[in-house]
Structure formats: structure tokens, C-alpha cells
Amino acid sequence: MTQKNTLNNKTEENSLNRSGRKISYKVSLGGIMASLCLLLMFLTAVFPPLNITLPLFAGMLMTIVAIEVSSSWAFVTYATVAILSFFITPDKEAAIFFAVFFGYYPILKYVIERLKSKVFGWIIKFAVYNAALVVIYQLTVKILGTIDLIEEFGFMKEFMLPGLLVIMNAIFLLYDFCLATIKMSYIKWFRPTFLRKFK
């Protein structure tokens, strides 16, 4: 009985240790990724022309959290960065880009691509992207007061708008493909090469 109790105690101890390591790993990784994201967001003040590119790269880091921990933990990390970026990022337009699309889309893509129906998955992707475009337009033009490019077209806007939407959706396809490539590179090369020894 004593040996059995000792074995049970050791098993419980090992289980608790593994659980503790998992929690500390989740918190550490989330904290590191959040810090890197906030650094990239802050750099939009130093490099104003990169106010779209830097939020895009910041959002890509959320994929790592989704892969290494879980999509739910990645969403928590995203929400933290999205809120804090409005306080620490001088470029509010960049903060909007991150919060409304770039920050959560890589996580959402990771979740959507687990669905059985690829067609339904693409419908969701395009719906989310185009909804985000509308929200970003409303927030940046109506609230931040940036130049309304659509109105700049004047009487040509009715003809230019469909073309602009086609171009924007083509860019989205390229962006989605780049995300997929980066994810596979991370899983097949970076992760086994650099992260295995830390886990």
C-alpha cells in the first residue's frame, strides 16, 4: 500500500509539474508575443509610411500563439494588444488597422481552415475582410478625419469603386497566401529547428 501511495503521489506531482510548465509557457509566450506586437505598433510613429505594414507583421505573430498554445489564447493576446495599442501607439490609424483586421485575421484563418468545407471557409474569409474594409473606412474617415479617397474620385466614384474593391480583394488573396506560406515555414522549419529545445 505504501509503495502504491508513493507511486500515486509521484504521478500527481509529475502531472502538477507538467500543468505548471504548460501554464508558465502559455503566459511567457503570450507575454513575449504581446511585447513584440506592441513594439511593432509603437514603431509606426517612427516610420509613418509603414502604418499598414507594421500592424500586418504584428498580426502575423498571433499565428505563433495559436499554433503553440491555442486559438483562444491567441485571441486573448490579440485583445490585450489591440486595447493597449490605442494608448501607446501615436498613429491611431495603425491601431485601427490592427484591431479591426490584421490582429485577429491570422487567428481566424487558423480556425477557419480546420473546417471541412473549403468553399464555406473562403466565404467567411471574404465576408470578414470586406466587413473590415467598411469598418476601417468609417473609423478612419468619419472619426479620424483622414482624406476620403472615394469622394476624391468625384463623379467617377461610381465606376472606380467596383474596380477598387476588386483590387483590394486581389490583395487580400495575396495576403492570405503569404500567411499560409509563413505558417508552413514556421511549422516545418522554424519550430523544429529553434523551439523544440525550449518545450
**Structural domains of the chain, count:** 1
Q: Tell me if the pTM is above 0.85.
A: no
Contacts of residue 107, defined as CB under 8 A and 6 or more positions apart, other chains included, come to 62, 63, 65, 66, 71, 74, 75, 78
The C-alpha cell that represents 153 in the structure block = 474620385
CATH code: domain of residue 70: 1.10.1760
Quote the pLDDT of residue 17.
Answer: 42
Quote the pLDDT of residue 5.
Answer: 46
Quote the pLDDT of residue 158.
Answer: 62
Question: How many residues would you count in the chain?
Answer: 199
Quote the domain boundaries for residue 51: 2-198
Three-class SS state of 134? helix
Quote the pLDDT of residue 147.
Answer: 53
pLDDT tens digits, the chain, 199 residues: what are they? 454 444 344 444 444 344 545 778 788 888 999 999 999 999 999 999 999 999 999 999 999 999 988 899 999 999 999 999 999 999 999 999 999 999 999 999 999 999 989 999 999 999 999 999 999 988 887 776 665 555 555 555 566 677 788 999 999 999 999 999 999 998 888 888 776 655 5
Quote the pLDDT of residue 154.
Answer: 55
